[in-house]
Amino acid sequence: MNQHDKLALPVGTTLDRFIMRKQEDFPYATGELSQLLRDIALAAKIVNREINRSGLIDIAGAYGNRNVQGEDQQKLDVIANIRFIRALRNGGEVCTIISEEDEDVIQTGNVQGKYVVAIDPLDGSSNIDVNVSIGTIFSIYRRVSPTGSEGTSQDFLQPGTHQVAAGYVIYGSSTMMVYTTGNGVNGFTYEPSLGEFFLSHPNIQTPSSGAIYSINEGSSESFSEGMKAFVSHCKEQSYSARYIGSLVADFHRNLLKGGIYVYPPTAKAPNGKLRLMYECNPLAFIVEQAGGKSSNGRRRTMEIEPKEMHERCPLFIGSPELVDKAEEFLANEHAASQVVNG
């Protein structure tokens, strides 16, 4: 490459341009889904700005309320929730939203909208005060209620296999948006001086195995025997324990490097802690498109028929060989209990 060419190297493919090029991949491409993804990206840019200045304008810390999950809301939880809802409402493509921060469905007024969005606006927000990576997770479905009417809870009570797109944004040392529409997984890094996301991680493929396990071992005394045996196996294999406490951050690292993230049932959370609709299902869609696997310990995450909008679900997600191994330990535990009780 000569000196003249080096002076103006291309900056890469922007998210907007990539979405437009890939629009023909959508089975019913008419532009609405493309616009919806751009609306989410716009809100992510705004939330990124708020996060980066949170220590300067007193918007970190607790808000003083609890959300529908019974968790203390952080100020940035509220801000992110408002930003994403506003962007989706103004974009016009979404008729109804469910959010981790709201108990009921949120009507956008766009009764002609063909899509519904389930979203965790700011996952891991309690880590903001200590400057740890946090994220946004979203899942997109086609509505099942009649177009022209308000959406209902039934629009969301679809198995994850019905998702048309899903993704997450990670706000860390750099801000990235990673998404899939069922045709592979691509990651885009935000360039703040240009105000654009650029394709940085095309066609992400997760390793088939790995040497990282991510689990909160502080709850290990209440793990099942099968779960305890799997953790012991990881230690015997000299795997590295890596647990940030922000689902998006733990998932993102393992997606790229290989590993498994586990949030099993515990005495405190017998159904697991994570939410099926806007945490487990979207990440399951992404990991499967990247060659990985996701289950609740016994069955594929995306085949679970949801019964409630805020339903909780155990999560075993990551490199397929590690997820298979975890399921093997749990199956052995179940078989042993059947013998004892039989």
Query: Read out DSSP for 222-279?
Result: GS-HHHHHHHHHHHHTTPEE---S-HHHHHHHHHHH--EEEE---SS-TT-SSBIIII
Neighbouring CB atoms inside 10 A of 190's CB total 21
283 is in an annotated binding site: no
15 is in an annotated binding site: no
Structural element, H or E, at residue 315: strand 315-318
Q: What is the pLDDT, as a whole number, of residue 63?
A: 46
Beta bridge partners of 315: 263
123 is in an annotated binding site: yes
Sort strands 106-107 and 94-99 into parallel, antiparallel or unpaired.
Answer: antiparallel
The span from the CA of 72 to the CA of 69, in Å, is 9
The residue among 245, 88, 198 whose CA lies nearest residue 151 is 88
122 is in an annotated binding site: yes
Task: Outline which parts of the chain fall under CATH 3.30.540.10.
Answer: 15-201
124 is in an annotated binding site: yes
Q: Contact, 201 vs 215, CB < 8 A?
A: no
CATH number (3.40.1010.10, 3.20.20.80, 2.40.50.140, 3.30.540.10) of 15-201 reads 3.30.540.10
Task: Outline which parts of the chain fall under CATH 3.40.190.80.
Answer: 212-341
The dihedral over CA atoms of 146, 148, 149, 152, expressed in degrees to the nearest 10, equals: 50
Q: Which two tokens stand for residue 330?
A: 């749990």
160 is in an annotated binding site: no
109 is in an annotated binding site: no
Distances in Å between the Cα of 325 and the Cα atoms of 213, 218, 226, 286 are 12, 22, 11, 20
194 is in an annotated binding site: no
Q: What is the pLDDT, as a whole number, of residue 238?
A: 97
Q: What is the pLDDT, as a whole number, of residue 333?
A: 82
CATH top-level class for 212-341?
Answer: alpha beta
126 is in an annotated binding site: yes
The span from the CA of 193 to the CA of 191, in Å, is 6
The span from the CA of 281 to the CA of 157, in Å, is 12
- The stretches in the chain having pLDDT less than 50 are 7, 9, 56-57, 59-61, 63-64
Q: What is the pLDDT, as a whole number, of residue 312?
A: 97
pTM, entire model: 0.91
Q: What is the pLDDT, as a whole number, of residue 71?
A: 56
